[in-house]
Amino acid sequence: MNKLKLIIRREFIAKVRNKSFIMMTFLSPIILVGMGFLIYFLTQKNDEKIKEIVYVDNSGMFSKEDFRDTKTIKYIDYSALGVALTKKKVEEGNYYGALLIPKQDSLELLAKSIEFYSKDSPGMSVISSLENKIEQKIRNEKLNSFGIDLEKIKASKINTDIKMLNFSGEESSKLINGLKIGVGAISGYLLMMFVIIYGSSVMRSVIEEKTSRIIEIIVSSVKPFQLMLGKILGNASAGLLQFLIWGIIIFVISTVASAVFGVDMAEMQSARIPAEQMDAVKQATAGDKGQLIIQEILKLPLLKMFVLFIFYFLGGFMLYSSLFAAVGAAVDNETDTQQFMLPIMLPLILGVYVGFATVINDPHGSIAVLFSHIPFTSPIVMLMRVPFGVSWTELIISMTLLLVTFVFMVWLAAKIYRVGILMYGKKPTYKDLYKWLKYKG
């Protein structure tokens, strides 16, 4: 145990004293927050540009009321100029585009014969907005032709608001599910990034010591199993410290920047959300519902989520790091690692995709439950499921399987490690790895 502690301490100190580690610890959050402000600034600037769209209505059906100006789009009626002259003026001028509405004998033909001309490819949001305006107008005309009173249709519309309650009678919020999805998705994504960054760091550390022949001196006094486990735990500790510092710096910078520059952080997050969705969010959070959401957040098992996050975070990292360490011991340089990386990365990627595809739609479905028990995917999928409430029975099964698999994989990887760490000048194959696993002693 003393030797293991020394190895962990050595790996931790070597990692945190590294200049690139120190630079990235303080630069990464600054760059991340800076990119967020830059995206916000560019989005605001992009929205300030007014798009001028001219339209020629030969059908006589549309009016200025149907093409109302917005903050970013201004509509100009060029019906009097005709199609040919309008197309020429738009092509020579600085207009965004020209909408041409021909005269047709039927509404069906009219809906399929409208054209939009522009110098550059128009944005999909602009085209979708135009299509919605035209569809609404043609639909109203169609209803009028059937003798249906539009005012009665408008009066018949009723907004439905389904209240969400549990069996004890406590009211919940519709937005809380989105919050749970967000927390789970961020947790799973962070774990994947953590494994990729620090798992590769463990592998590179092993390769460097192997190629410098320092490892030959180290293994004379330390068992390969202890050396590999110490490297994994040392790098995990350094990684957690870096993540903690990142979180503190990002919070401080965001708070100070929003206070100094008067930027609303919630507005930054919603800068790229369509106006219709934002209206729905504002309506959902109006009145007492904002307070309800806060209460709902406090009802989440925050302590349980934090403890499980740490467990699966470390469990998943150490499981994959043992494989990275085994690969590092088997090869002489990073180029030779490529053939072994795909089998390691596939379960990790699968966990992310399965999590997003199944947990969002049905967090307690059979597929989500199955992959939250499989050790190679459970750290990601289970982290996504935890905010939705998972029974302790499921958690104990999942956690036990992860621990058992981790111990087994460390034992298995150590068998490759103890042979491969002293092998030089030979590019290993999967057949060689299998032989190393069968070696005794």
Give residue-wise pLDDT tens across range 320-334: 888 888 888 788 777
* 51-57, strands of its sheet edge to edge: 73-77, 51-57, 97-101, 115-117
pLDDT grade, residue 287 (50/70/90)?
Answer: very low
Our CA dihedral for 12, 13, 16, 20, rounded to 10 degrees, sits at -110
Q: Provide the token pair at 197.
A: 């960054």
How far is C-alpha 176 from the chain's CA centre?
18
Give residue-wise pLDDT tens across range 347-390: 888 888 888 888 877 888 889 899 999 999 998 889 888 888 88
Answer with the residue of higher pLDDT: 51 or 301.
51
Place of tokens 């390691």: 344
pLDDT greater than 90 at residue 401: yes
Half-sphere exposure of 258 (CA within 13 A, CB side): 15
* pLDDT mean across residues, the chain: 80
pLDDT grade, residue 273 (50/70/90)?
Answer: very low
Give 310's contacts (C-beta < 8 A, 6+ positions apart). Answer: none
pLDDT greater than 70 at residue 294: no
Rounded distance between C-alpha atoms, residue 263 and residue 77, angstroms: 38
Our CA dihedral for 131, 133, 139, 145, rounded to 10 degrees, sits at -130
Highest mean pLDDT among 38-52, 54-68, 166-180, 338-352: 54-68
Mean pLDDT across 404-410: 86
The 3-class secondary structure across the chain, one letter per residue, is CHHHHHHHHHHHHHHHCCHHHHHHHHHHHHHHHHHHHHHHHHHHHHHHCCEEEEEEECCCCCCCCCCCCCCCEEEEECCCCCHHHHHHHHHHCCCCEEEEECCCCCHHHHHHHCEEECCCCCCHHHHHHHHHHHHHHHHHHHHHHCCCCHHHHHHHCCCCCCCEECCCCCEECCHHHHHHHHHHHHHHHHHHHHHHHHHHHHHHHHHHHHHCCHHHHHCCCCCHHHHHHHHHHHHHHHHHHHHHHHHHHHHHHHHHHHHHHCCCHHHHHCCCCCHHHHHHHHHHCCCCHHHHHHHHHHHCCHHHHHHHHHHHHHHHHHHHHHHHHHHHHHCCCHHHHHHHHHHHHHHHHHHHHHHHHHHCCCCCCHHHHHHCCCCCCHHHHHHHHHHHCCCHHHHHHHHHHHHHHHHHHHHHHHHHHHHHCCCCCCCCCHHHHHHHHHCCC
Q: Which one, of 300, 277, 284, lies nearest residue 173 by Cα?
A: 284
Give residue-wise pLDDT tens across range 70-128: 888 899 999 988 899 998 888 888 889 999 999 988 888 998 999 999 888 888 888 88
pLDDT grade, residue 56 (50/70/90)?
Answer: very high
What is residue 172's predicted lDDT score, i.e. its pLDDT?
59
Give 107's contacts (C-beta < 8 A, 6+ positions apart). Answer: 138, 141, 142, 145
Q: Tell me if 372 sits within 8 A of 398, measured CB to CB.
A: yes
Rounded distance between C-alpha atoms, residue 281 and residue 292, angstroms: 14
Answer with the residue of higher pLDDT: 260 or 412.
412
